[in-house]
Amino acid sequence: MSASKEKTLHGVGASPGIVIGRAWSVPRHAVKVVYRHLDTPNEVESEVVRFLAALEATKQELVDAREDLDAALAEYSYIIEAHLLILGDRMLKDRTVDLIRAQGINAEWALSQSVTEAQGVFDKVKDDYLRSRFADVVHVTDQVLRHLSGQNDSSLSNIREKVIVVAHDLSPADTTQMDLDWVLGFVTDMGGPTSHTAIMAQAKAIPAVLGLERISSEVTSGDFIVVDGTAGVVVINPDEETLHEYRDRQEAYELYAQETLALAHLPAETVDGRKVDIGANIELAEEVGTCLGYGAESIGLYRTEFFYISKRTLPSAEELYANFKAVAQRLQGRPVNIRTLDIGGDKFASFMELSPEINPALGLRAIRFCLKERELFKDQLRAILRASAHGRVRVLFPMISGVDELLKAKDLLEEVRAELKQEGIRFDRKMEVGIMVEVPSAVAVADLLARHVDFFSIGTNDLIQYALAIDRVNEQVSHLYQPMHPAVLRMIKQTVKAGHQAGITVAMCGEMAGDQRAVPLLLGLGLDHLSMNALAIPRVKRIVRLVNQKTWERLAREALTFSTAEEVIRFMDRQLKRQFPQIFTGARAAA
C-alpha cells in the first residue's frame, strides 16, 4: 500500500471498538426535487393522492422493517415506531397537503418546504439529544421522496461478506435489510451518539464512527479502512506502519473489553470496601434491557421528555402509567428515578404553544413549567405513584431552585396521593422523593432542601453551565465549560456534605459521572451513586474496583485547594497515571 494514499478522518465515536476491513459503499443518490406547478384542481387533488400513497408505501415499508428486526434488536422497535409517528405528524403530512392545495405545487416540492419549516423549529433547540432527532424527520422524508420518485432500491440485502458499511446515513429500514452478522463496522457522513445507527451499533457491539461529513464520497467499495469507534477515527487505505499500529490497538482493546465486561456485573466496590451504586440514564423504556446488559444496578435517571415530544397530543396518565410500570417491572426491584417533565426553555412539544422567551434557559422550564401546568404535572405524578406499586420507583423533581418550589411540588404530590387513596388505587405510601441539584441557588441552600427530600441527584450538565455562565453549545465560549473548575468541585462537595449531614444519599447523573477520569475524584468527594450512559458502566465499574476510598478522600481535599481548572486537571493527570497505570498510561490517556 502506498503511504501517500493514506487518509485519516475524524468523526463521532458512536460505538466503541476497532475493526479493520474492506468497505461496502452504499450508493445513495439524492432524489432531485424539482418544482412543478399544477394547473387545474384535478391535478392538485391527484397530487395529494400521489403524496398520500407515498406516505402509505413508506408506512408499510417501516411496518415490514419492524417485523423483520433481528431478534437481538427487537426491543429497539421504538425507533421505527417514532418514524411511524413522524409520518402522521401534522408538521409533515398535513402541512404538505396544505401546501400542495394552497400553492398548486407538486408533492416533492411541498414536502421539501415542510421539512425546511420543521428544521427551523429544531434549529432553535439547544438540547443535543432533542436537536439530533431532526435526523429522524430527514430519514422519513427521504423514504417518502424515494417512493414518489420510484428510486427505492438498495444494495444492503446483498451483503454476504465481512465488510464495513460506509454510507451517507442509514435509516431503520436500511439496517433491517442487512444481515448484521456480516457487518464489521458502520461509518457514515451523518449521525451522532444518539442517532438510530449509533443505537443499533451499540446494541450489536459493532464499532461505529459517525458524523464524518464526507466519508461516503471519499471511500469506494473495496477500499481498505480502519474504524476506531473508541477514538472516533477512520483511516482510509492505511500504510503498513499504521495498519500494524491499529492491529496492536485492536488486540489490546479486545482484551480490555473482555476483562471489563467480565466484571460489569460484579458490584462496584472500592478496594477498601465502600459500595457505590452504578446506574444508567435512559430516554426510553426500551433501553432498560441494554442497561442491565452492561451491568446497571439501577436507572439513576429516566428522562420523560421524549415520551411527550414524540407525540402529537399530550400523553394521558394511563399511557404514562403503563410506560412507567413496564420499566419498574423490568428492573425487578432495582430502583428507578423518574424525573418529572423537564420541558420548556431549550425543549419543546408540538402540542404546546409556548410564548417565545428572550432567555429560555432561565425561563419557564422544568419544575416552573410543571407548577404552572398543574393538570399535566398531576398526570405525571399520578402515573409515577401508580407505577410505584410495581417496583422501587422514586420521583425526581428537576431544576429546584429553593425550598418554596420544592414544597409546592410536594403539596401537589400529596394531593395526588390523597386522590389515589380515596379511589382505592395501590401505590407505595413511602415512595422516595428527590431533587435535581443543578442550579447554584440549590447548592447554596442544600442544607435546607435536604430536610424535605430523601435523596439528591446532581445534574452536572446544567450545574456547570449555570455556575460558570457558559452555554456549552455556543462555539464562542464552549471551551470554558470545565467540569474540573474549582467552583464546580466545591459545589459538588458542599452538596454532598449537606446531604450526608441530613442523612440522605447524594447521586450524580450528569456526563461527568460517566467520565472514568473523574470517577476517583467524585468518590473522594463522597458521592454515593453515579448514573451514566449505559456504555460507560463497565469501565466506570472497573475503575471503582481499583479505587482506595481513603486515598482519594485525601486527594480530593488536595484538589479543592487549587485555583484553576488547569491546575486540577494537571493534578488529576499525575494521580491517575500513578494510581492506575494499567488504565492511564499517559498524561492525557483516552478513557
Give catalytic residues, as residue numbers: 196, 509
Query: Which residues partner with 280 through β-bridges?
Result: 299, 532
Cβ neighbours of residue 334 under 8 Å, at least 6 residues apart?
296, 297, 298, 299, 391, 392
Pairing between strand 163-167 and 208-210? unpaired
Single-letter code of the amino acid located at 459: G
Helices 134-149/77-87 angle, 10° precision: 70
Pairing between strand 208-210 and 12-15? antiparallel
Helices 41-67/93-103 angle, 10° precision: 160
Q: Which three cell numbers stand for residue 381?
A: 405524578
Rg (CA), the chain: 25
Cβ neighbours of residue 349 under 8 Å, at least 6 residues apart?
308, 309, 343
- Distance CA(225)–CA(503), nearest Å, equals 55
Q: Which three cell numbers stand for residue 140?
A: 422519513
Task: Give alpha helix (H) positions in 310-402.
Answer: 317-331, 366-372, 374-387
Q: How far is CA 31 from CA 112, 141, 149, in A?
A: 11, 11, 7
If DSSP states are collapsed to H, E and C, what string results for 264-309? CCCCCECCCCCECEEEEEECCHHHHHHHHHCCCCCEEEEECHHHHH
